[in-house]
A and B are shown apart, each in its own frame.
Chain A
Amino acid sequence: MRDLFCIFAILFCLLPQAVNAQATLLRAVISRTDTPQLWDDAIAEFEQQNPGVKVVKEIAPNSSTQFHDLLTQKLKNRDTRLDVFFMDVIWPSEFASAGWALPLDRFFSTTEQGKFLEAPIAANRYRGEIFGVPLFIDAGLLYYRKDLLEKHRMAPPRHWPELVDQAKTVLAAELDPHLVGYSGQFKQYEGLVCNMMEFILGNGGALWDEQRLVSAVQQERAKQAVRFVRDHIISEISSRGVLAYEEPESVALFAQGRAIFHRNWPYAWRVANDPEQSRVIGKVGMMPLPAFPGGKGASTLGGWQIGISRFSKIPEVAWRFVAFMTSHQMQKRIAFSTGRAPTRKALYTDPELLAQVPWLESMLETFKQAVPRPRTPVYAPLSNIMQRYFSAALALPGSKIDQRSALAARDMDRVLDLLRETAAP
């Protein structure tokens, strides 16, 4: 009995080593997708091409804000059990500045970088080094119910007030209690900043002045845009539920035929045309976001990159994975199956891909002109202040936008002041 126990004990101790000796574990935190099979297949293929490597994937929460918290907790603790991670377009500066992301210049040559679209490459650069490889690019787009607009003899809206009027007309005529005019992302999280930035920039405003490092949310044009969203977009043509929506809930509403207009990233096109999820197949139009009269329409630049942890013990293996995932073939496959727009320029002229995803070509201009959120290592605190302000301004019908924006501006200025102290070593 005792001998048996000893044998088991020894076996138990040896087991982990035996497993470790077999494979190099590559730990990756990756985004959630509607088609989980895609990542599984990709990982299987990568493992096949790289014998001895086993990829352990961890699927992060859908909300970019929660994804960020999950990653920074691991990185802050210098967790060596994290090698590769997806990054939202706003994180590279922060991760680079904090010393969490590995500079990739020795792997990712400037010639190779030249094969990608400029905006996402710029988003991955920090103080002359590059910290991530763009996987797909996002920009805010407006989706609309072609059939409803045609039925009521309307052309797609040229500016936001026109959109509100059209929605009101259609709602009044359709008398469908389930139909709302607009669906977007207004929950208190990062998506709220993306949505509001589009309204503010479309009215000639800004979030903050990147040269002078002072807030701009308290300026008249920014406040006008916020007031418009509260009084017209939310109060007149949306249901209040939109204040709790992230991307999946808002696109589900649109795909169920319950919204006339919808703001989302490019992947929503595929959702709206997927027989399993959509009741509006073939009835959907897609266009760049409108502006305010006299303004210029703006789309928030979004998208995801892959980076490598500075604390990874196997950066070479990690790079092989990053290169594999961002390769021409893989990006094409991602575009096919998820509707995410690729970051490699060559794919925008790939006849095979264009045959499947014809809108890509026409949207290239929108992607190129998409406006990045200001790049800074203190983006997270600034974003939290803005999320707080926007959410309070929109969720309370009589909210005092003048006061709240002044408070938000004061808080943002305090954070931005930290950057002035930046006497880098």
Chain B
Amino acid sequence: MKSSHRLALLFIVPSLVFVSVFTLYPIVESFRLSFYRMILTLPWLGQKMVGWENYLDLWTDPVAWQALRTTLLFVAITVPSELLLGLGMALVMNEAFRGRGVLRAVVLIPWAIPTVVSSQMWRFIFNDRYGLFNFVLFGGDTARYFAPLADPRFAMLAIMAAEIWKTAPFAALIILAGLQTISDEVYEAASIDGATSWQKFYHVTLPLLWPALLLALLFRTIDALRVFDLVFVMTQGGPADATNVLQFYGYKKTFAEGMIGYGSTIAVTVFMISLILALAYLRALKSERLQGAAR
């Protein structure tokens, strides 16, 4: 081994230790616990190895299936909306105009507010007596005010709205970074060739933006799969389990009910779903890069 290699190894040891202690250990421990029955409030039952029992239970647990459906619906609606909105915001922010700096800062505010705070804000907005949402819809006609968070048909939509509002700026940020890597020369060349704005967007911007879009898609999908804080603050999973997403269900099992084994099983399942999706995206991203390089 060359001495420079040894030195390099020395330098990465701290981060390796950090990652093992704070990332790898909890994941491995969750995997281990998911094969045990361990109930905090019944300590005398001890830790009992149950093999795949927790996973079989999860497979036949209607609440978990409903939570999975709710979570996937949440991802399927919020992520594309955020990307579309983010794309629009990024295109505007990429133009040169007065006050662009201010606009860029302002747009980021929803993302910069801690989620717990903005969730609380949205809970007030959707209140059935004094909420802004009702005021905008019905004005002073308070008799028609209703409670979106009390209705299983609307509660999830309300949470989705809050999520889109909160994270579209994040998508915009990544997409904006992608836009700025596209050099003006390409657009100039397109103009000389007589391309319309729409053609420029479709044939120049979009293809060159794919890597950034894919990256935003990756981040947002994984994040949306693990949605928790909005649900925790706004609805606690109700009404009628309409907003009971997988992460919240796992949290309830682990922390409120003390079912450590079963809760870990849910956590591991969410982890595996995210991992598989992330790997698929990374592959797509990688082939996109390669094609880009070939071009």
Contact = CB atoms under 8 A, between A and B. Distances in A.
B205 to A, nearest CB: 44
A188 interface: yes
Interface in A239-269: 239-245, 249, 252-253
B143 interface: yes
Interface in B1-56: 39-45
Given A98-B43, A239-B128, A377-B41, A384 B256 contact: yes
Contact of A391 (B41, B42, B146, B239): B239
A244 B42 contact: no
Nearest to B234: A244
A414 B264 CA distance: 19
Contacts of A69: 255-256
Nearest to B251: A69
A94 B41 CA distance: 6
A395 B152 contact: yes
A407 B62 contact: yes
A73 B232 CA distance: 15
A395 B238 CA distance: 10
A407 B142 CA distance: 39
B128 A380 contact: no
B76 to A, nearest CB: 23
Contacts of B63: 388
B261 interface: no
Nearest to A419: B42
A76 B252 contact: no
Nearest to A253: B129
Contacts of B147: 239-241, 243-244
B143 A65 contact: no
Nearest to B62: A407
Best-surrounded residue of B146, B235, B256 (most CB of chain A within 10 A): B256
Secondary structure at chain A's binding surface: helix, strand, loop or mixed? helix
A381 to B, nearest CB: 4
Contacts of A419: 42
A378 B149 contact: no
- What's the interface size class on B, roughly? 20 to 34
B223 interface: no
Nearest to B147: A241
Contacts of B240: 188, 388, 391-392, 394-396, 399
A127 B257 CA distance: 21
B258 interface: yes
A98 B43 CA distance: 6
A399 B241 CA distance: 13
B256 A188 contact: no
B143 A98 contact: no
Interface string B131-153: 00000000000110011011110
Nearest to A407: B62
Contacts of B239: 187-188, 243-244, 391, 395
B256 A72 contact: yes
Interface string A99-121: 10000000000000000000000
A316 to B, nearest CB: 26
Contacts of A65: 236, 256
A422 B43 CA distance: 10
Contact of A244 (B41, B149, B241, B255): B149
B71 to A, nearest CB: 17
29 contacts: A65-B256, A94-B41, A97-B43, A99-B43, A187-B238, A188-B236, A189-B238, A240-B150, A241-B129, A241-B147, A243-B147, A244-B149, A244-B150, A244-B238, A244-B239, A245-B150, A377-B41, A378-B42, A380-B41, A380-B257, A381-B257, A387-B238, A395-B152, A396-B240, A399-B240, A418-B45, A419-B42, A423-B44, A425-B44
Given A241-B129, A391-B238, A424-B44, 7 more contacts: A65-B256, A76-B255, A188-B235, A241-B128, A378-B257, A380-B41, A392-B241
The 8 A-B residue pairs with the shortest CB-CB distance in the complex, in nearest-first order: A188-B238, A177-B143, A244-B150, A241-B147, A241-B128, A243-B150, A395-B240, A392-B240
